[in-house]
Amino acid sequence: MRESADFELAVRRGARAGRETLVVHLSTRTDPGPAGPVVGFVVSKAVGGAVVRNRVKRRLRALMAPRLTELPERSTLVVRALGPAARAPSDRLATDLDGALRTAARRVRERS
């Protein structure tokens, strides 16, 4: 996901779930586009300088890759890193990501 409108739509319409190191917004798409899930990452300057932000993005991408199969078809996910993500070990990021994804998926199902 690269367009700001796609991020905005997912954040506004998506089910939100947060943890200490990150927040996720999960929604389902109705537009014609990729059949599989689409994921975008937001890492603001509050996380750190450019080097730190890029490291956090790489870590989150690596953690998200094996979890793509768990996302519903035609879903849009925005993962927003919070300040503590810069100092968190990868296992903590993974635990927070898994917990937030479970909560967001449950909230999407409850809306349907």
Q: Distance (Å, rounded) from C-alpha 66 to C-alpha 82?
A: 22
Q: Distance (Å, rounded) from C-alpha 71 to C-alpha 24?
A: 12
Whether 36 has a pLDDT exceeding 90, the answer reads: no
Q: Distance (Å, rounded) from C-alpha 38 to C-alpha 71?
A: 9
pLDDT in tens, 42-93: 999 999 999 999 999 999 999 999 999 999 888 999 999 999 999 999 999 9
Whether 112 has a pLDDT exceeding 90, the answer reads: no
Q: Hey, what domains does the chain have and what are their CATH numbers?
A: 4-111 (3.30.230.10)
Place of tokens 């793509």: 68
